[in-house]
Structure 1
Amino acid sequence: MTTIELLYIAGCPNSVQALIRLQRAVDNTMHSNTVITSTLIDSAETAGQVLFAGSPTILVDGVDLFPTDGRTSDLACRIYVTPNGMAGAPTQEQIEAALAAHG
């Protein structure tokens, strides 16, 4: 079974939209029993214990769905390159393509 986790920080304006897009992408591309969990990153220590690259980070089986040059222990927002320019979350289409490439 595939494990999908959304890592986010409190007050991140993009985490809810990312979760909605992720759920729709999973519904379109994966088995119906795929579970998405959300994990609040509430300290630099917590961020240092997981593969956190800013909020929101999407992990599939423990691997960043959108790999970057590195992790961060900063409680900060993440920027994604999308077809429409820089954004705080990947598009649903980007998530679907990344899920398809992953599995």
Structure 2
Amino acid sequence: MVNMRVEILYFDGCPNWVAAADRVRAAAATIGRTDLDIGLWRIGSDAEAAASPFAGSPTILIDGTDAFDGAPQVDQLACRLYRTKAGAAGLPTVDQLADVLRAKA
């Protein structure tokens, strides 16, 4: 199994980025992946947001690609919403992340 790189792009005012990393770890454990390299990428300005693959905080990249396709890149510090079975949320669920990790393996 090849190491998978997961990056979480966030800005300091985001209330969800720490929990995003926890959910990625929980999703990896759920599917038995122990080879994840999880990195945090702090976006410090609107200019950095515009120059990166930032789609709102937290953006979760797997091997450089947004884990949840279809989100537009943003050029400012902004929060991101994810569609879940319970409605819009500031984070994807552990099950959603597990499905994405399985698909990207």
TM-score normalized by structure 2? 0.89
Equivalent pair of 2:47/2:76 in contact (CA under 8 Å)? no
For structure 1, which runs of at least 5 residues remain unmatched after alignment?
none
For structure 2, which runs of at least 5 residues remain unmatched after alignment?
none
CA shift digits 1:2-48 (9 cap, x unpaired): 21100011121111221111111122335423210011111122112
Percent identity over paired residues: 40
Q: Separation in 2 of the partners of 1:61 and 1:2? A: 6
CA root-mean-square deviation: 1.3
Matched, 1:98 2:100: yes
Provide the residue aligned with 1:5 in structure 2. 7
**Partner amino acid, structure 1, of 2:10:** Y
Equivalent positions of 1:51-70 (< 5 A) are: 51-70=53-72
TM-score normalized by structure 1? 0.91
Count of residue pairs brought into register by the alignment: 103
* TM-fit CA distance, 1:69: 4.2
Q: From 65, 85, 88, give the equivalent of 1:86.
A: 88
Large movers: runs of 4+ above 6 Å? none
